[in-house]
Amino acid sequence: MTPEERRRLKDKELAHLREMQRLKRLARHIRRQKRLNQALSSITAALDQVTGPNDDVLSTLEAENARSQARLDLALEVHGVSLDAAGQPPPAARQPEPDPPAKTIGANLRRPTEEPE
């Protein structure tokens, strides 16, 4: 076998081995991807089982909230009260907030310096 034939066979075998390595990496990647997809499917199935009843409760609460909001809007409309974009009455209709209580603790704790006669 001439050196040129030997080199050609060696190059061909190297190309074959590199292709085999690439295919093995691809197979590992596909197996890993398959396991991840199965795990994700099982997680989403479990979540669907858990959140299914909650979705029904949530939709019931949203409907009840919408009814209550409509009743409140109607009552405010009947009484002539309008709300701004934040859901607050206009400044003229708001009741003033009370002042915070004054602190009088220090005055009550002083001892008289002289005794009354």
- Return per-residue pLDDT of the chain as tens, 117 residues: 899 999 999 999 999 999 999 999 999 999 999 999 999 999 999 888 877 777 788 889 999 999 999 998 888 888 777 766 666 666 665 566 777 766 666 555 656 566 555
- Whether 88 maps to a domain, the answer reads no
Q: Are 81 and 93 in contact (CB under 8 A)?
A: yes
Residue 114: inside a domain, yes or no?
no
- pLDDT attached to residue 30: 97
In a domain, 109, yes or no: no
| Owning domain of residue 8 | 3-81
Residue 94 lies inside a defined structural domain of this protein: no
| pLDDT recorded at residue 20 | 97
**How much is the pLDDT for 87?**
67
Strand locations in the chain, DSSP E?
none
Question: Would you say 90 and 84 are in contact if contact means Cβ atoms under 8 Å apart?
Answer: yes
Domain membership of residue 75 (yes or no) is: yes
| Residue 11 counted as domain residue | yes
Note whether residue 103 is domain-resident. Answer: no
Distance of CA 70 to the CA centre of its chain: 28
pTM given for the model:
0.42
Domain count, the chain: 1
pLDDT of residue 24: 97
